[in-house]
Structure 1
């Protein structure tokens, strides 16, 4: 039986987050962003990003696993950009490994995230870029 788990990421998820981000980002933007830029999205650089982000607790990061294998991540910012209304959450990124595109996992993940935003009491949600 296949087991899908979505939860808030923790420090021991850093490498999985870095892998999912770097691999899915490169696949998503092939032909859109120049290869020389995509090649700079490395595991090491992403490891550092997620280590800092999780240790400073400025963002909430969720991880999706299927049969104990990380397949997706979702990054929220609750700090609020200056141009956003009060009580706003921002979705900074949602990435799935290419093998899971078009499978319904993205919708499932986004719905989970929207439920968490609602539970945390945020009235507005914006998609960042």
Structure 2
């Protein structure tokens, strides 16, 4: 397994992971009509734009067969005005690769990049019904609050977690 910086050429493969993982991870959490409307083409365009933004740290997990099976995104969101803090904005894997240590490798890579950039605190938002919140908690993320967001006008609870010490996370990884 190789964890590397994503390139513009990875946009379509990242889009496939993004769409497919949303459809499996959020089935029964987000309304099916929203998931059915997800498009590889639209997500490819989104990722072409994302990958040209130097403020985003995007890494992919690639198998020995050169298949991209997951990705992670770290970036300081506009809404995060806290000094020394940044955000883990996405980490997704194909369903068949979940629970095999790939997420841990991606988390380690993005946390290392945050440390190198001088951050010491990292926030992550996760849908309250998403079992991946246990992954974050296992690596030391602490619950902050629950907020309500909307998908196609339907309210869904989202939990905010924080890692207060990147070094402590890296030690556990």
Please say whether Structure 1 and Structure 2 have the same fold, judged by a TM-score greater than 0.5. Answer: yes
Residue 26 of structure 1 corresponds to 23
- Flag the structure with higher strand content: 2
Asked if residue 14 in structure 1 is aligned to residue 11 in structure 2, the reply is yes
Structure 1 outlier segments of 4+, above 4 Å: none
- Give me the whole-angstrom Cα distance separating, in 2, the residues matched to 1:8 and 1:113: 10
Runs of 5+ in structure 2 lacking a partner?
Answer: 127-173
Runs of 5+ in structure 1 lacking a partner?
Answer: none
| 51, 68, 71: which one aligns with 1:70 | 68
Q: CA deviation at 1:57?
A: 2.7
TM-score normalized with structure 1 length? 0.88
- Per-residue CA shift, 1:57-110, capped at 9, x if unaligned? 3422111111111010101113x4344411222011100111111112112211
Report the RMSD for the aligned CA atoms in angstroms.
Answer: 1.5
By relative contact order (CA 8 Å, sep 6+), the higher-ranking structure is 1
SS in 1 for 2:51: helix
- Flag the structure with higher helix content: 1
Matches within 5 A, 1:1-129: 4-67=1-64, 68-78=66-76, 80-128=77-125
SS in 2 for 1:63: strand
Change (3 A) 1:113 1:37: same
TM-score normalized with structure 2 length? 0.67
